[in-house]
């Protein structure tokens, strides 16, 4: 059974640009969550989607957005990138909301 | 609001020695508790979880944790560590909203 797949693994962007990260959950999983990991702030919850609906949102500015498609794949978008957005972005999928979350290997975003 | 405190940022230990990684949480409601491990340049892997029932939870790779409601703790233990256990360990809590709130992490450094 394939795990959670995040693409791309590494990304370098310039300040002011926008970026889209992709997450393919485990087959049959309908819940997808996103987390940001930085050395200073640690692991912080961004948002969670279930059946194409955003159910939960963390304390991040509106530049951070996401969506989920009918096949449960999810994307997150960050607009007007800032240096502080440099981080490892982790996606996790669950069969149902509240069940065990399986994490992908993450996308490491570097903003220069 | 919920929070998780991991009291030790780094724990050095010799191979085959026992180890305990401490985790305390604060929450006014019933919680679910988790321990995750992260190897370099990888995502998070679930070690074990407490949802309800027995307070002693056994996980993968020989790890176990004990849920102590009165002390609001969920410490992780292993009776004998291996070099391969060197990694960062995260304690996390979630409530009915199911988003994970992570501690700051403990780096376990196993020395030969």
> Which whole number is the average pLDDT over B7-14?
96
Instruction: Name the residue facing B99 among A4, A48, A105 (closest C-beta).
Output: A48
Contacts with B101 from chain A: Cβ below 8 Å: 45
Sorted by sequence, the CB contacts under 8 Å of residue B63 that are 6+ apart come out as B35, B47, B48, B76, B77, B78
Q: Rounded to a whole number, what is the distance in Å from the CA of B5 to chain A's nearest CA?
A: 12
pLDDT confidence bin for B87, thresholds 50/70/90: very high
- Chain B residue numbers with beta carbons less than 8 Å from the beta carbon of A33 are 99-100
pLDDT at B12: 97
Q: Is the pLDDT of residue A1 over 70?
A: no
Q: Is the dihedral of CA B110, B105, B79, B86 positive or negative?
A: negative
Give the model confidence (pLDDT) of A17-47 as tens digits: 999 999 999 999 999 999 999 998 999 999 9
Q: What percent of chain A has pLDDT over 70?
A: 97
Q: Residue B94's pLDDT band (boundaries 50, 70, 90)?
A: confident
Beta-carbon separation of B44 and A92 below 8 A: yes
Q: What is the pLDDT of residue B51?
A: 85
Instruction: From chain A, pick out residues whose CB is under 8 angstroms from the CB of B46.
Output: 100-102
What pLDDT is stored for residue B28 in this prediction?
Answer: 66
Residues 6+ apart with CB under 8 A from B83: B15, B110, B112
Instruction: Determine which of A33, A41, A45, A89 to mutate to test the interface with B (most B C-beta atoms within 10 Å).
Output: A45
CB-nearest partner of A97 from B44, B98, B105: B98
Chain A contact present for B50, CB below 8 A: no
A80 or B31: which leads in pLDDT: A80
pLDDT of residue B60: 94
pLDDT value of residue A111: 98
pLDDT band at B29 (very low <50, low <70, confident <90, very high): confident
Cβ distance B99 to A43 less than 8 Å, yes or no, reads no
CB contact under 8 A, A43 and B98: no
Task: Name the nearest CA neighbour of A34 among A19, A24, A44.
Answer: A44
Residue B19 has pLDDT above 80, yes or no: yes
Q: Say how far apart CA A105 and CA B38 lie, in whole Å.
A: 10
Query: Alpha-carbon distance B112 to A53, whole Å?
Result: 49
- pLDDT score at A75: 98
Contact A42 B98 (CB under 8 A): no
Question: B100 — contact with chain A (CB < 8 Å)?
Answer: yes
- The whole-number pLDDT of residue A47 equals 92
Q: Does position B61 have pLDDT exceeding 90, yes or no?
A: yes
3-state secondary structure of A83: helix
Residues of B in contact with A2 (CB under 8 A): none
The answer to whether the Cβ–Cβ distance between A105 and B42 falls below 8 Å is yes
Give the pLDDT score at B83.
Answer: 96
């Amino acid at each position: 059974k394939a795990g959670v797949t995040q693409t791309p693994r590494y990304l370098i962007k310039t300040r002011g640009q926008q970026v889209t990260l992709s997450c393919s959950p485990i087959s049959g999983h309908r819940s997808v969550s996103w987390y940001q990991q930085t050395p200073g702030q640690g692991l912080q919850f961004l948002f969670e989607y279930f059946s194409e609906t955003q159910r939960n949102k963390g304390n991040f500015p509106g530049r951070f957005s996401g969506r989920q498609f009918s096949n449960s794949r999810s994307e997150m978008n960050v607009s007007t990138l800032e240096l502080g957005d440099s981080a490892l972005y982790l996606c996790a999928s669950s069969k149902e909301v509240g069940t065990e979350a399986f994490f992908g290997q993450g996308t490491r975003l570097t903003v220069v | 609001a919920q929070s998780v405190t991991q009291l030790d940022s780094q724990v050095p230990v010799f191979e085959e020695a026992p180890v305990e990684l401490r985790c305390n949480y604060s929450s006014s409601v019933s919680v679910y508790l988790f321990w995750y491990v992260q190897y370099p340049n990888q995502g998070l892997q679930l070690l074990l979880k407490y949802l309800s029932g027995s307070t002693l939870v056994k996980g993968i790779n020989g790890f176990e944790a004990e849920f102590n409601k009165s002390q609001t703790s969920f410490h992780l233990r292993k009776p004998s560590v291996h070099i391969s256990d060197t990694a960062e360990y995260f304690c996390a809590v979630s409530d009915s909203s199911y988003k994970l709130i992570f501690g700051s992490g403990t780096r376990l450094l196993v020395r030969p």
